[in-house]
A and B are shown apart, each in its own frame.
Chain A
Amino acid sequence: MNVIFEYQFLQNALLASILASVVCGIIGVIVVEKKLVMMSGGIAHTAYGGVGMGYLCGFEPIIGAFLFSIAAALGIGFIKRKGSLQSDVTIGLFWSLGMALGIIFIALMPGYPPDMNSYLFGNILSVTKADLLLMIILSVLVVLIVMILFNYWKAYLFDEEFAMIIGIKTTFLEYLLLILIAMTIVVLIRVAGIIMVLALLTAPAAIAGMLSSKLKNRMIIAVISGTVLCIIGLWISYVLNIASGASIVVLMVLCYFLAYGVRLIYNKFKQKRVTVKST
Chain B
Amino acid sequence: MGFLNYTFDWSVLWRHPYGNMFIKGVVTTIHLSLLAWMIAVIVGIAIGIFRVLPIRSFRFAGSFYVQIFRNTPFLVQLFFWYFAAPLLLPEPAQEWLYDNVPNYAYWAGVAALGTYTASRVAEHFRSGLLAIPHDQYRAAYSTGLTTMQTYRYVIAPYAFRIIIPPFTTEFLTCFKNSSLAMTIGVMEVTHTAYYVDSFTSHGLETTTAASLVYLCIALCVALFMSFVEKRIYIPGMIARGQ
To the question of whether A and B form a pair in one complex, the answer is no
On A, residues with C-beta under 8 Å from B are none
On B, residues with C-beta under 8 Å from A are none
